[in-house]
């Protein structure tokens, strides 16, 4: 194995550590390895920014955005990414270079990009971070301990038609409204790419939150379904242990995305949901999404998302789906949202409505 002969701890101490690395104990770093051919998703890489491109800021572990400069030292995670509006990337170093695939600190080799994207921010890898025992540091090493599934807490899933359909706003607004109704609520981001936006949105709504980075995944794209399910079980059960009566779970991207489709087709996650809120950018997407969900045996209790910014789109969606269309302000209304959710809670196994 190729190691740097002299490791300067100041390199990591002065580096900007990305959001995806937030659970890592930085004191564990003792060496660097340049054996990139054995690297795997979730491994931590110390890099130097070569050229700033699409992502001009890095989301830090401290949950603020830091403007990037050529020459900056950064610690990011090797990872895959699936983002139709941005980049598709694979978790590997190619020709001695990495590309920043997501602002939360996921780097790899870009496989495809939306036409409106600039060139990705390019990174020079200086080495994989290693412990004193010689093990490459991976975010999975700092995951929450696995917990068996909890069947008592009510679980509400938030799905969307696509990226930027309004899922996060819908999920955080739903959580806030349920808290206003008097329930103890927790937020969970079960799939996606590590970033602080979704995380902060739940906290801003006044509810505690965990996400897939807490269970050892920088991203869930190309992760085995079993690992995603185990992470979901642990996140929901941890929320229940901490006193949550209702857990609002956001599922990333759209219903045709690889992991989301697998979840809807056959998974423990699918079978555990007590209700679904669907987010859509327009009426056609609302109808299409409801049709897809019904094909999988689900009928959303309501629709929200970007379409609610338009009274005309809202009216169209209500007409073609026959479902309640709820704006974020309506989701905030504790009394109103309780009327939609309490019937779901009464049907939830082992749960008595508050």
Can you tell me the mean pLDDT for 242-271?
94
pLDDT-based confidence at residue 256 (cuts at 50, 70, 90): very high
Can you tell me the mean pLDDT for 317-329?
97
The answer for residues whose C-beta is within 8 angstroms of residue 260's C-beta and 6 or more apart is 159, 191, 251, 252, 253, 254
Rounded to two decimals, the pTM is 0.93
pLDDT-based confidence at residue 349 (cuts at 50, 70, 90): low
Nearest-angstrom CA–CA distance, 76 and 71: 15
Nearest-angstrom CA–CA distance, 104 and 106: 6
User: For a pLDDT cut of 70, what percent of the chain falls above it?
Assistant: 96
203 has a pLDDT exceeding 60 = yes
Nearest-angstrom CA–CA distance, 40 and 62: 25
Q: What is the pLDDT of residue 354?
A: 38
Can you tell me the mean pLDDT for 124-134?
96
**pLDDT, tens only, 23-65:** 999 999 999 999 999 999 999 999 999 999 999 999 999 999 9
Query: Domain 154-347, what architecture?
Result: 3-Layer(aba) Sandwich (3.40)
Can you tell me the mean pLDDT for 159-185?
96
When mean pLDDT is compared across 48-62, 256-270, 313-327, the lowest value belongs to: 256-270
284 has a pLDDT exceeding 50 = yes
353 has a pLDDT exceeding 50 = no
Which burial class, exposed, middle or buried, applies to 256 when counting CB atoms under 10 A from its CB (0-12, 13-18, 19+)? middle
Can you tell me the mean pLDDT for 254-262?
93
Q: What is the pLDDT of residue 257?
A: 93
pLDDT-based confidence at residue 131 (cuts at 50, 70, 90): very high
Q: In the 8-state DSSP scheme, what is residue 162? A: S
119 has a pLDDT exceeding 60 = yes
Pair 34, 128: CB distance under 8 Å: yes
What is the domain partition of the chain in residue ranges?
A: 9-139, 154-347
- Largest Cα–Cα separation, the chain: 68
3-state per-residue secondary structure call for the chain: CCECCCCCHHHHHCCEEEHHHCCCCHHHCCEEECCHHHCCCCEEEEEEEEECCCCCEEEECCCCEEECCCCCEEEEEECCEECCCCEEEECCCECCEEEEEECCCEEEEEEEECCCCCCCCEEEEEEEEECCCCCECEHHHHCCCCCCCCCCCEEEEEEECCCCCCHHHHHHHHHHHHHHCCCCEEEEECCCECCHHHHHHHHHCCCCEEEHHHHCCCECCCCCHHHHHHHHHHHHHHHHHCCCCEEEEECCCCCCCHHHHHHHHCCHHHHHCCEEEEECCCHHHHHHHHHHHHHCCCCCCEEECHHHHCHHHHHHHHHHHCCCECCHHHHHCHHHHHHHHHHHHHHCCCCCCC
Picking from 232, 261, 265, the residue whose alpha carbon sits closest to that of residue 248 is 232
Can you tell me the mean pLDDT for 185-203?
96
Q: Are strands 73-78 and 106-113 parallel, antiparallel or unpaired?
A: parallel
């Amino acid at each position: 194995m190729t190691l740097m002969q002299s490791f300067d701890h100041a390199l990591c101490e002065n580096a900007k550590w990305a959001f995806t690395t937030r659970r890592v104990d930085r004191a564990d770093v003792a060496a660097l390895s340049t054996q990139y051919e054995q690297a795997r998703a979730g491994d931590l890489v110390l890099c130097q920014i070569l050229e700033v491109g699409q992502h001009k800021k890095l989301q830090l572990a401290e949950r603020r955005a830091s403007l990037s400069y050529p020459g900056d030292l950064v610690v990011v995670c090797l990872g895959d990414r699936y983002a139709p509006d941005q980049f598709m990337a694979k978790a590997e170093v190619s020709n001695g270079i990495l590309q920043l695939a997501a602002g939360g600190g996921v780097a790899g080799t870009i496989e495809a990009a939306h036409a409106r994207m600039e060139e990705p921010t390019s990174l020079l890898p200086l080495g994989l971070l290693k412990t004193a025992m010689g093990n490459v540091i991976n975010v999975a090493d700092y995951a929450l301990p696995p917990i068996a599934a909890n069947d008592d807490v009510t679980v509400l899933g938030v799905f969307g038609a696509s990226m930027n359909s309004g899922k996060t706003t819908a999920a955080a607004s739903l959580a806030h409204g349920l808290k206003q109704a008097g329930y103890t609520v927790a937020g969970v981001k079960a799939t996606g790419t590590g970033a602080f936006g979704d995380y902060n949105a739940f906290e801003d709504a006044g509810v505690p939150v965990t996400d897939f980075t807490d269970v050892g995944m920088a991203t869930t794209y190309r992760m085995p379904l079993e690992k995603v399910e185990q992470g979901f079980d642990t996140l929901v059960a941890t929320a229940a242990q901490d006193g949550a009566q209702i857990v609002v779970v956001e599922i990333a991207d759209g219903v045709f995305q690889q992991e989301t489709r697998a979840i809807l087709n056959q998974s423990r996650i699918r079978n555990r949901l007590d209700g679904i809120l669907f987010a859509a950018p327009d009426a056609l997407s609302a109808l299409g999404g409801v049709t897809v969900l019904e094909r999988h045996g689900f009928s959303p209790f309501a629709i929200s998302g970007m379409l609610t910014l338009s009274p005309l789109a809202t009216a169209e969606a209500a007409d073609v789906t026959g479902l309640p269309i709820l704006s974020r302000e309506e989701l905030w209304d504790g009394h109103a949202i309780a009327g939609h959710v309490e019937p779901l809670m009464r049907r939830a196994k082992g749960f008595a409505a508050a």
